[in-house]
Amino acid sequence: MIRKITGNVFRQVSVGFLFVSLALTTIIVLTQSLHFVEMIVNQGATVGMLVQLTILLVPKFLPIIFPIALFLVVMFFYSKLTADRELVVMSAAGLSPLQLAKPAIILALLVTFVTYAINIFLLPEAYQLFGKLKWHIRHNISQVLLEEGVFNSVGNKTTVYIRERSEGNILSGIFVHDESNPAAPVTIMAKRGSIAQARDGAKIVMFEGSRQVLDNATGDYSILFFDRYTLTMDQDDEIRTSKRPDRREMTLSELFNVENHPYIEKRDHGKYIIEAHRRLTSPLTSVAFTLIGLFCILSGGFSRRNQSKRVVVAASAILVLQMSILGIENVSARNPSLTPAMYLVLAAPIIATILLFLKPPRLNFLN
């Protein structure tokens, strides 16, 4: 009978968790997708690219959504069981508080394992793809919407001006100023041209123009007249490898070996190492939130009169725990010797609630 009750409660809590997680994820995804609309309007991105960017953001939010959704479902479902007197019947049948909490604890452990898989494997891969796609939209001139009569920034060091743009990416009155080499900036002017996409990047093919180069070291000025000239605009692979990586794009092993990365300054090493520890500790919040909620609901009897008070106490405890987690992460980034506190702040409530379940006390403040 106990196994049947546990299975029935587990199924109901699992369905509720999936529904709430899906609802919260949808709301957050729709909110975040609004930030990418500007890419469609001003940078020529397609709706398909917008969908890809939005999907790649989902792994970022799941480790945050899962503990909250689990806590909400556990509080709602077990409060409903109390209101319907079902917990009273189960307790009278011989089930201990720990046995009553078992279905939710099993679900919390499963969610924790899934979150570990997301943090360790899926999250860095998703961020890498997200960064590459975003870079492609912003810096690939085949996707950039070059406005007529406007100085358009393509990348960080190239400015493009066109007098007129017609169908088929045909350009008229082209002006390009390229400072990729600060020692010798290049200015190109052409009567006409077109945009072409090649394997090594997007190109502007220009006709009937001139290429002017100023050598800043000597002050010499040279000019070359051409009938046809091709300028490669998209060298994203070379530029991307020369910049400091986003710590969210790095794998767990790369984060722990950040001292060997040539483009990350020593003063920033703490932030990257704390990111690695955060990926290892954040999945435990699902277990901690669930156990705190269960303890507040299942301790001190099953009276319907005090359910709102128990929910408030549980929510307050969760809020204090979350603030403690964020505070310790920020402090540990500046003082790495405090890193063990990131594990302790989550292990303490987990161990404490398990011990209290094994020997339930009588808590008057919950009555």
Give the Cα separation of 229 and 48 in Å (integer): 33
What the block records as the tokens of 94 is 């011989």
The pLDDT of 191-218, averaged and rounded, is: 83
Nearest one of 265, 250, 258, 321 to 292, comparing CA atoms: 321
| Burial bucket for residue 149 (CB in 10 Å: 0-12, 13-18, 19+) | exposed
> What is the Cα–Cα distance from 29 to 50, expressed in whole angstroms?
11
Domains in the chain: boundaries: 2-139+245-366, 151-233
HSE (side-chain half, CA atoms, 13 Å) at 163: 9
For residues 9-29, average pLDDT: 94
Cα separation values, 145 from 79, 140, 142, 176, Å: 55, 10, 8, 15
Give the pLDDT confidence of 318-362 residue by residue, as tens digits: 999 999 999 999 999 889 899 999 999 999 999 999 988 887 666
Residue by residue, DSSP assigns 267-305 as GGHHHHHHHHHHHHHTTHHHHHHHHHHHHHHHSS---GG
Confidence (pTM): 0.75
pLDDT mean across residues, the chain: 84
Q: What is the pLDDT of residue 144?
A: 54
- Chain centroid to Cα 57, Å, comes to 5
pLDDT in tens, 208-238: 999 999 888 888 889 999 999 988 765 444 4
